[in-house]
Chain A
Amino acid sequence: MRKFRLLAPALLASGMLAMLLIMGCGGSDDDSTTTSTTTESSSAASTAASSSSSTSEAAAETKEEAKAEATTATTTETTSAAAPAATSGDVAQPQYGGEWTFQSTSPRIGQDPINTTGTGYFYNWGTALSSLLRYKMDPSICSGCYEIIGDLADSWTVDGLDVTLHINPDAKWQGSGAPTVAGLNGRNFTAEDAVFGVKRLAGEGSYHVGYWAAMESVSADGDNVKFKLKYPSATFIPNVAYGFNKMSAPEAVDAGGGNLQNGPTIGTSGFTVDCEVDVQCVYTRNPDFHLSDDNGNQLPYLSQARNIIIPDVQARFAAFRARKLDTHGITAEQRIIIDRQYPEIQNDEIKHYGSWFIHFRNDQAPWNDKRVRQAVSKSIDRQEIYDTIYGGLAHMSLAMAMPAAEAYLPQEEFKKAWKRDCTEAKSLLTAAGFPDGLDAKFWVANYSETTIAVVELMQQQLKECGIRIELFIHDRATYLARVFTRHGEFEDMAYGPQGIFTADQWLSAYYHSEGGRNSSWTDDPELDKMIDAQRQQMDPAKRNQELLDIQAYLLDQTYQAVILTGYSRTSHQPYIKNYAYSSGLDYPGRRHVEHIWVDKDEYLTYRNEKEWID
C-alpha cells in the first residue's frame, strides 16, 4: 500500500506528460489555425482604417438627394448549414433582449476620442458616443457601398460653401447607466453641443484635424449647426459621418479636468459602456436612444453586449467553439474545422478594401524609373498568392473604396495589368539598364506568419524574373515608425498592410506629394493635380470618371504595387441574427451592434447555461 502511495503521483505525472507529448505530436486539429488569412490581414489593417468619402450627397440639397449612388461593387457571401436565414438579409422580425458576446481589442487606452485613432478606444469606450451623421448599417448595404444617414443631426443641406445640419430633437445624452455628471445626464443634445464637439475635433491637439480641413467656421443657429467651407468639398459630409468624429459633452470634459483621457465616458449612442481594462467591456442598452430601424422599432435590440478581451488567437477560437463567444473572425483553417464539426454555425465571407502592398523608394534610383517598378509588379503572380495562401479569398484593386460602383476599375483591367509576365519583366529591367537583373532590400512588417509566407513566395517569384530580394523583417512598431510615415526611411522596397480607405483618403494620404502617408516619396505634379481636382468635383458622374482616370494612371505608374485586397471571414452562433457587416466605412464604431438581435428560443437551446437578459 505504501508503495502504491509513492507510485501514484509518479504514475499520474508520467500519464500527464505522455498525454501532453502525444497531443503535441499531432493530436490537435487546431495546430494549423495559427496561420493567418485575409481576415487577419484585414484586422491588422483595420487598426488603421479610416474613411472620408466623396459621394454625390455633398452636392445635394436634401438628405434624400444626398444618398450616395454607390451600388454593389463587391460580394457578400453567407453560408449556414442549419440556420440559413440568420445573417445578412435576414427577414425575420427582430426580437428585443438577450446578450451578444464578441471579442475585440483591449480598452486599455485613453478615453478621449480626439486623442486616439485606436480600435481599443472606438470598439470599446467609443461605442457610447455618436457622430452627427453616420454610414448606414443594414444587411442590404453590401461591402464597398455606403450611404450617409442622420444620427445626432436628422437632416442636412449643402449649398455651395454653406452646409447646415439640423439637430435631431430626440437626441439626448445618456442618463441611467452612464457616469453621473452634474447638468448633463439625460439632457437633450443641442446645436451648441455639436459646435463644442466639432471645435474639439478640429482644434489643437486633436488627431482628427484632417477630416475638418475644408471647414472655415462652425456656429450654432437655433437647432441648426452651420458650417462655412473654405472650398467646395465632395468629402465634407462623409467626413462628418466618419466614426472618429464623435461628439463629446462640455460638462464631461469639464468633469475630466479639461479632457476625457480618464473619462467620464458619456455619450449619445444606443449603449452605455462599462469597461474592466484587459478583462471585458459591458455595453448596456440605452432606453432613450434616438434612432429607430426602418420599421420604426427603437434601436438597439440587444439588452446587453459584451466584449471579452482574449489576446491569444487559439484561446479565442477555443472560446468560440465552447460558445463563450457568439461571433468570431476566423482563419481559412478554422473555417475547415467549423464546417466539419459545427454545421449550425453561420459563416460570412465579405469582400473589403483593406490591402497589403509594396512601397517603393520612388525618390531613389532605380525605383524612380517606372520600368523597374513595373518589372516588380509584373514579376509577382498575385493569383498564386491568393490561391495558395488565402484559399482564393482575395481580390485585385487599388484598395480604395469608391463613392459609386461606376468608379471602380473593372477586375479585368487589373487582371490584364497585373498578369505575371517574366519575359516582359526582364525586358523592362534590361531597358532600364539591368540586363542581369536587380538586387534589392525588402522590408517587411511582421504582422503574422501569413505575411512571412507571402513575402517568401514573392521572393521566389521575383527571383525567377531576375529580381533578387533580401528580406528584412521588422515588428509592427518599427515598421510604422520607419515606413508608415510621410517619407519612409526604408531601403528599396517595403511590404505592409493598410486599412479600408475611401478614394480621396487614399489618394490624398498615399499618392499626393504632401500626403501624410506618402511613404513612397511620390512627387508627381500631374497626379497631385488630378487628386485635388476629384476632391472638389461636385458632379458625381464627372468625379467617377476622374477617379477612373486616376486609377488607370496609377496602374501605369505603379508608384506602389498593391498585392491584394481582402475578405473578412466571420462566424456566428446560430442564434445571432442580422449581423449587418459593412465595408468598414462605419469604422470604427461598432454601430452594427445596434442592429444585431438574438433569437431567444435558439439562444436558450444552445446557451442553456446562460440566462436570458431582458
Chain B
Amino acid sequence: MQTYILRRVLLMIPTLMLVAIGIFVLTHLMPGDVIMIQLEGAASFTPEQYESIKKELGMDKPYIYQMGKWLWGLTHLDMGNSLWNNKPVTEEIFSRLPTTLQLAFMAFIVSSVLGIVFGVVAAIRQDTMLDHVTRIFAVGGLSLPDFWVGTLIILLPIIWFNWGFQTTYADPWEDFGRNMQLMVPAATAIGVRASASVMRLTRTTMLEVLRNDFIRTAHAKGLRERMVIYRHALRNALIPVVTVMGTQLSRLLGGTVIVEMLFAIPGVGRLLLDSITQRDLTQVQGNIMVIAGIFIMMNLIVDISYGFLDPRIRYGRL
C-alpha cells in the first residue's frame, strides 16, 4: 500500500508539470491583455506608456522565458505576483481557499445525503410511485444548471416574502450564523444538482446488489430488512458511488465558480472568473493549477479509499 501511494505521488509530479505547461499555453492564447483593461479608464495613453507598463509587469519577455519562470517558480511554490494588484498569487489563493473548500464540502454533504438517501429509497421501492418521483427529481436535477437553481433561491424569497438572503460574507470563525446564512443556500444550489447523479448511481448499484445471492442468504438467515439493506447491500453498493462522489467533490469545486459570483462569496472560483475577465494571467494560472492539484489529489484519495471500503481490493505494482 505504501509503495502504491509513493508511486502515485511520484506520478503526480510529471502530471502536474504537463498541466502547468498546458495552463500556460492556453492562458497565453487568450486574446486581450491586462494592460489595456487597466488603461480602460484613461482618456488617452501613449504607446510608450503601454510598453513601460508591459516591461514593469514582465510581459515584454519572450514567452519561453515567461514559461520557464512560471515552471521554476512552481517547483518552490512561487506562482509570481498578480498582474492586477501585484499581490503574490499564492497569498490571494490561499486566503480564499478555505471559503471555497467550505462551500464545496457543504455542497458535497448536501449532494451525498440527498443522493444516497433518495437512491436507496428508490431502489428498495423500485417501480413504485416513490421510485418514479425520485427518478424525475434526478433527471430534473441533472438538467438544472447551478446558476439557475441559485438564481431561483435568491429570487423566490424576495418575490414571495419580500425577504432576501444575507448579502455580505462573514468568516465562520468570526460570525458563524451570518456565514451559514450565505453558505447554506449557496451549497444547496450546487448540491441539489450534484445529488442527482449520486442518486441515480446509488439506485442502480443498489438494485444490482439487492439481486445478489448473499442478500438472499441474509434474508434467509432471518436478518431484519434494515440490517440487510444498510449493513450488507448499501456497503457493497457504495463502492462505485464513492468513486463518483470523489470525482464529484473536484467537480463541485468547479461548480463554485458561478455560485460564488451569484452569492457574492469571496472564494477561489470567483477570483478565477474575475482574473479571466481582467486577463490577470498569473492569477488565472495559479488558480487553475491549485484546482488541478486538488483534482489529482482527490483522485488519489478515492483510489486509496477503495482498499478500505472493499477488502478484496489489494494494491500491487502499477
A315 and B52 CA atoms in complex are apart in Å by 39
Is B49's CB under 8 angstroms from A207's CB?
yes
Is B31's CB under 8 angstroms from A482's CB?
yes
Chain B residue numbers with a CB within 8 Å of A479 are 32
Tell whether A118 pairs with B41 under 8 Å between CB atoms, given A310-B264, A480-B36. yes
Is B134's CB under 8 angstroms from A117's CB?
no
Q: How many residues of B are counted as interface, with CB atoms below 8 angstroms from the partner's CB atoms?
A: 67
> Is A210 interfacial (CB 8 A cutoff)?
yes
A59 and B45 CA atoms in complex are apart in Å by 27
A204 and B37 CA atoms in complex are apart in Å by 20
Is A118's CB under 8 angstroms from B38's CB?
yes
Task: Tell me which of B17-25, B71-79, B146-154, B231-239 binds A.
Answer: B146-154
Is A279's CB under 8 angstroms from B86's CB?
no
Is B86's CB under 8 angstroms from A261's CB?
yes
Contact of B49 among A29, A209, A309 (CB under 8 A): A209
A52 and B43 CA atoms in complex are apart in Å by 9
Binary contact track B191-203/A, C-beta < 8 Å → 1, others 0:
0100000000000
> Is A181 interfacial (CB 8 A cutoff)?
no
Is B43's CB under 8 angstroms from A50's CB?
yes
Closest CB of chain B to A14's CB: distance in Å? Answer: 4
Is A279's CB under 8 angstroms from B152's CB?
no
> Is B3 interfacial (CB 8 A cutoff)?
no
Q: Which residues from 243 to 272 on chain B have a C-beta closer than 8 Å to any C-beta of chain A? A: 261-264, 266, 270-271
Q: Which residues from 172 to 213 on chain A have a C-beta closer than 8 Å to any C-beta of chain B? A: 204-205, 207-210
Chain B residue numbers with a CB within 8 Å of A475 are 32, 277
> Is B87 interfacial (CB 8 A cutoff)?
yes
Tell whether A109 pairs with B84 under 8 Å between CB atoms, given A205-B56, A477-B32, A480-B37. yes
Closest B-chain residue to A477, C-beta based? B32
Chain A residue numbers with a CB within 8 Å of B278 are 477
Is B39's CB under 8 angstroms from A117's CB?
yes
Contact of A477 among B33, B167, B271 (CB under 8 A): B33
Closest B-chain residue to A516, C-beta based? B44
Closest B-chain residue to A277, C-beta based? B266
A515 and B243 CA atoms in complex are apart in Å by 60
Is B137's CB under 8 angstroms from A481's CB?
no
Is A509's CB under 8 angstroms from B121's CB?
no
Closest CB of chain A to B25's CB: distance in Å? Answer: 18
Is A517's CB under 8 angstroms from B43's CB?
yes
> Is A541 interfacial (CB 8 A cutoff)?
no
A484 and B274 CA atoms in complex are apart in Å by 20
Chain A residue numbers with a CB within 8 Å of B130 are 6-7, 10
Contact of A314 among B46, B52, B114, B151 (CB under 8 A): B151
Tell whether A322 pairs with B136 under 8 Å between CB atoms, given A207-B42, A262-B87. no
> Is A106 interfacial (CB 8 A cutoff)?
yes
Residue in B30, B44, B122, B140 whose Cβ sees the most chain A Cβ within 10 Å: B44
Task: Tell me which of B7-15, B156-164, B289-297, B308-316 binds A.
Answer: B156-164
Closest CB of chain B to A482's CB: distance in Å? Answer: 7
Chain A residue numbers with a CB within 8 Å of B121 are 6-7, 9-10
Is B134's CB under 8 angstroms from A10's CB?
yes
Chain A residue numbers with a CB within 8 Å of B40 are 47-48, 117-118, 480, 484
Chain A residue numbers with a CB within 8 Å of B264 are 278-279, 308-312, 315
Binary contact track B28-71/A, C-beta < 8 Å → 1, others 0:
00111100111111111111010011001000000000000000
Is A477's CB under 8 angstroms from B49's CB?
no
Is A13's CB under 8 angstroms from B114's CB?
yes
Is A481's CB under 8 angstroms from B32's CB?
yes
Tell whether A24 pairs with B152 under 8 Å between CB atoms, given A6-B130, A10-B130. yes
Contact of A478 among B32, B118, B163, B169 (CB under 8 A): B32
> Is B1 interfacial (CB 8 A cutoff)?
no
Is A10's CB under 8 angstroms from B118's CB?
yes
> Is B304 interfacial (CB 8 A cutoff)?
no
A478 and B165 CA atoms in complex are apart in Å by 35
Is A314's CB under 8 angstroms from B137's CB?
no
Contact of A210 among B44, B86, B165 (CB under 8 A): B44
Is A17's CB under 8 angstroms from B141's CB?
yes
> Is A329 interfacial (CB 8 A cutoff)?
no
Is B41's CB under 8 angstroms from A499's CB?
yes
> Is B305 interfacial (CB 8 A cutoff)?
no
Tell whether A314 pairs with B32 under 8 Å between CB atoms, given A110-B85, A278-B270. no
| Chain B interface mostly | helix
> Is A422 interfacial (CB 8 A cutoff)?
no
Chain B residue numbers with a CB within 8 Å of A47 are 40-41
> Is B155 interfacial (CB 8 A cutoff)?
yes
A502 and B127 CA atoms in complex are apart in Å by 72
Is A13's CB under 8 angstroms from B155's CB?
no
Closest A-chain residue to B35, C-beta based? A481
Closest CB of chain A to B113's CB: distance in Å? Answer: 9
> Is A248 interfacial (CB 8 A cutoff)?
no
> Is A588 interfacial (CB 8 A cutoff)?
yes
> Is A363 interfacial (CB 8 A cutoff)?
no
Is B38's CB under 8 angstroms from A207's CB?
yes
A573 and B152 CA atoms in complex are apart in Å by 24
Is A28's CB under 8 angstroms from B159's CB?
yes
> Is B125 interfacial (CB 8 A cutoff)?
yes
A365 and B190 CA atoms in complex are apart in Å by 53
Is B163's CB under 8 angstroms from A322's CB?
yes
> Is A49 interfacial (CB 8 A cutoff)?
yes
Closest B-chain residue to A515, C-beta based? B44
> Is A485 interfacial (CB 8 A cutoff)?
yes
Closest A-chain residue to B134, C-beta based? A10
Chain B residue numbers with a CB within 8 Å of A204 are 52
Closest CB of chain A to B123's CB: distance in Å? Answer: 11
Chain A residue numbers with a CB within 8 Å of B41 are 47-50, 116-119, 244, 499, 588
Is B36's CB under 8 angstroms from A321's CB?
no
> Is A431 interfacial (CB 8 A cutoff)?
no
Chain A residue numbers with a CB within 8 Å of B184 are none
> Is B209 interfacial (CB 8 A cutoff)?
no
Tell whether A13 pairs with B137 under 8 Å between CB atoms, given A29-B159, A47-B41, A309-B264. yes
Tell whether A322 pairs with B162 under 8 Å between CB atoms, given A118-B38, A310-B264. yes
A481 and B264 CA atoms in complex are apart in Å by 28
Tell whether A314 pairs with B154 under 8 Å between CB atoms, given A106-B274, A116-B38. yes
Closest CB of chain B to A261's CB: distance in Å? Answer: 5
Is B85's CB under 8 angstroms from A109's CB?
yes
Is A278's CB under 8 angstroms from B266's CB?
yes
Q: Which residues from 25 to 83 on chain A have a C-beta closer than 8 Å to any C-beta of chain B? A: 27-30, 47-52
Binary contact track A470-493/B, C-beta < 8 Å → 1, others 0:
000011111111101110000000
A38 and B34 CA atoms in complex are apart in Å by 26
> Is B133 interfacial (CB 8 A cutoff)?
yes
A478 and B277 CA atoms in complex are apart in Å by 10
Is B156's CB under 8 angstroms from A108's CB?
no
Closest A-chain residue to B280, C-beta based? A108
A321 and B56 CA atoms in complex are apart in Å by 45
> Is A377 interfacial (CB 8 A cutoff)?
no
Chain B residue numbers with a CB within 8 Å of A109 are 84-85
Closest CB of chain A to B274's CB: distance in Å? Answer: 7
Chain B residue numbers with a CB within 8 Å of A49 are 41
> Is A505 interfacial (CB 8 A cutoff)?
yes
A-B contact pairs, 19 of them (CB 8 A): A7-B121, A10-B122, A23-B156, A50-B43, A119-B41, A207-B42, A207-B49, A210-B44, A277-B266, A278-B266, A279-B169, A312-B154, A322-B163, A324-B164, A477-B36, A479-B32, A481-B33, A481-B36, A516-B43
With A310-B264, A506-B43 given, name 20 new contacts (CB 8 A).
A10-B133, A13-B137, A17-B137, A19-B156, A20-B140, A24-B148, A29-B159, A50-B42, A117-B39, A119-B41, A205-B52, A207-B39, A207-B49, A311-B261, A314-B262, A322-B158, A477-B33, A478-B32, A515-B44, A516-B46
Q: Which 4 A-B pairs have the closest CB atoms?
A: A322-B164, A477-B32, A117-B41, A516-B44
Binding site for B on A (CB under 8 A): 6-7, 9-11, 13-14, 16-17, 19-21, 23-24, 27-30, 47-52, 106, 108-110, 115-119, 204-205, 207-210, 244, 261-262, 276-280, 308-312, 314-315, 318-319, 321-322, 324-325, 474-482, 484-486, 499, 501, 505-506, 508-509, 515-517, 588
